[in-house]
A and B are shown apart, each in its own frame.
Chain A
């Protein structure tokens, strides 16, 4: 079990640029989740996948955000036309489909938009 891996660890970008983050879940986990954590707050749910299907998206996920999990393994989260308000830690987590099994989180990608 190598754990959930996220890349890059840190990303600094200028406002208006596009950024893409990658998450590699634990290999036997078919569910993958994206959360966003801003300073001083707890994580907020963004979206989740079961295998390659994106089953739910939060209202927090504006149309500038898109997530994919094309082969049901790794996932990418892209933010287009970044804004300063997008600055946050983006957390990926995974678990098996077993009812309410614990989430395994990655170390996150910290995005800073200047």
Chain B
């Protein structure tokens, strides 16, 4: 079975600080894609960042970066210079096929405070 585990149900960070959200996954596949999605309160889910498992270089998107450890099956998200607009549920997900049948974790609720 393919599973995604997010062990931090809630986290809080002060504005302008850095926070890291953890994610581990389990799959027997060798080729897969990993994603972090953001779901703001009462708003639609949007993609934050993605990583192809065959790429060793960690993905970055502006203030968002990942630490991908394939052997450990770990995929953490680092948010630098946190902003109030980063307040949201963050979901880690992965996909092994060509279609986007994602397996999601249970999410981490991030609160950015002044």
> Which of A's residues lie within 8 Å of B, judged by CB?
3-4, 31, 33, 35, 40-45, 48, 50, 55-56, 91, 93, 95, 99-103, 105-108
Report A66 CB to chain B, min CB distance, Å: 19
Question: In the assembled complex, which residues on chain A have CB atoms less than 8 Å from the CB atom of B56?
Answer: none
Q: Say yes or no: A42-B98 contact (C-beta < 8 A), given A107-B43, A108-B44.
A: no
Which residues on A sit within 8 Å (CB–CB) of B84? none
Tell me if B16 counts as interface (CB < 8 A to partner A).
no
Q: Tell me the B residues contacting A by CB distance below 8 Å.
A: 4, 33, 35, 43-47, 50, 52, 91, 93, 95, 98-107
Cβ contact within 8 Å between A31 and B99: yes
* Residue in B4, B46, B99, B100 whose beta carbon sits within 8 Å of that of A42 in the complex: B4
**In the complex where A91-B45, A102-B50 touch, is A43 in contact with B91 (Cβ < 8 A)?**
yes
Contact A102/B91 with A42-B4, A45-B102, A48-B99 known, Cβ cut-off 8 Å: no
Instruction: Assess the A103–B47 pair: CB atoms within 8 A.
Output: yes
User: Across the interface, do B47 and A55 meet the contact criterion of CB distance under 8 Å?
Assistant: no
A103 lies within 8 A of B43 (CB): no
Contact of B100 among A44, A91, A93, A108 (CB under 8 A): A93
Given A41-B107, A102-B35, 18 extra CB contacts under 8 A: A31-B100, A35-B102, A41-B106, A42-B93, A42-B105, A42-B106, A42-B107, A43-B102, A43-B104, A45-B102, A48-B101, A50-B99, A55-B99, A99-B98, A101-B100, A102-B47, A103-B47, A105-B45
